[in-house]
Chains A and B, each alone.
Chain A
């Protein structure tokens, strides 16, 4: 049973426009959410995160929004750049000493010129 879902396997956006990547979760106990970016033949790298006590977190061109009532989070990239082309994974965690991450299936973003 997939507790974290990314229903769009791929997304294509023009350079300069906004990219919106979506993620839904089923476990209301998740209290921390992260986005990772992955290039081919490399490991995932941390991008941005948000605590469940917030509804927005911003870091430069990247903003994550959290809607707890809908169990939905989204990553906005503005403006999109060709170097943003990668696979994006959302992940969720329960507060614990291990804080294990549950990952979504990923969305491949392609930013076109």
Chain B
């Protein structure tokens, strides 16, 4: 299917576990982004990537790791999950010259 997809859509994990959230886009957009949405904070940028093998920190990167070996994939890893990382995570992508970002459906992550 064309577009941007995220998996899993829902995930429950325990404190201290490693968990990886997947993001895949079929548009060959150069830029990809990870956000978290929390009540009272809106969407906050975690990491972004300008191209394969190029990543940079956003506003709230602590506790997260990203990689981008292929243009279409941008996984987000929580190396040792904490309860404060309970959130809804959104992946987004855009073409290099535009402002508009296209969002995936989100992953709701609960850390117990």
Contact across chains for A100 and B41 when beta carbons are under 8 A apart: no
Residues of chain A within 8 A (CB-CB) of B90 are: 43-44
Interface, chain B (partner A; CB < 8 A): 4, 31, 33, 35, 40-45, 48, 50, 56, 58, 90, 92, 94, 96, 98-106
Residues of chain A within 8 A (CB-CB) of B101 are: 46, 101
A34 close to chain B: CB less than 8 A: yes
Instruction: Count residues on chain A whose CB falls below 8 Å from chain B CBs.
Output: 24
A93 close to chain B: CB less than 8 A: yes
Residue among B43, B44, B103, B104 facing the most chain A CB atoms (10 A cut-off): B43
A14 close to chain B: CB less than 8 A: no
With the chains together, A89 CA to B43 CA distance in Å?
A: 9
Please name 15 pairs of A and B residues whose Cβ atoms are closer than 8 Å in the assembled complex, sorted by A.
A6-B42, A34-B99, A41-B105, A42-B106, A43-B90, A43-B103, A46-B102, A97-B96, A98-B48, A101-B45, A101-B99, A103-B35, A103-B42, A104-B42, A105-B41
Shortest C-beta distance, A14 to chain B (Å), equals 26
Contact across chains for B99 and A98 when beta carbons are under 8 A apart: no
Contacts known (A34-B100, A97-B50, A101-B99); A89 close to B42, Cβ less than 8 A = yes
Flag A30-61 by CB within 8 Å of B: 1 or 0 each.
00101010000111111001000000000000
A44 contact from B41, B56, B96, B103, Cβ within 8 A: B103
Residues of chain B within 8 A (CB-CB) of A106 are: 42
With the chains together, A63 CA to B89 CA distance in Å?
A: 29
Shortest C-beta distance, B50 to chain A (Å), equals 6
Residues of chain A within 8 A (CB-CB) of B98 are: 99
With the chains together, A79 CA to B102 CA distance in Å?
A: 26
Contact across chains for A100 and B102 when beta carbons are under 8 A apart: no
Residues of chain A within 8 A (CB-CB) of B100 are: 34, 46, 49
Residues of chain A within 8 A (CB-CB) of B94 are: 99
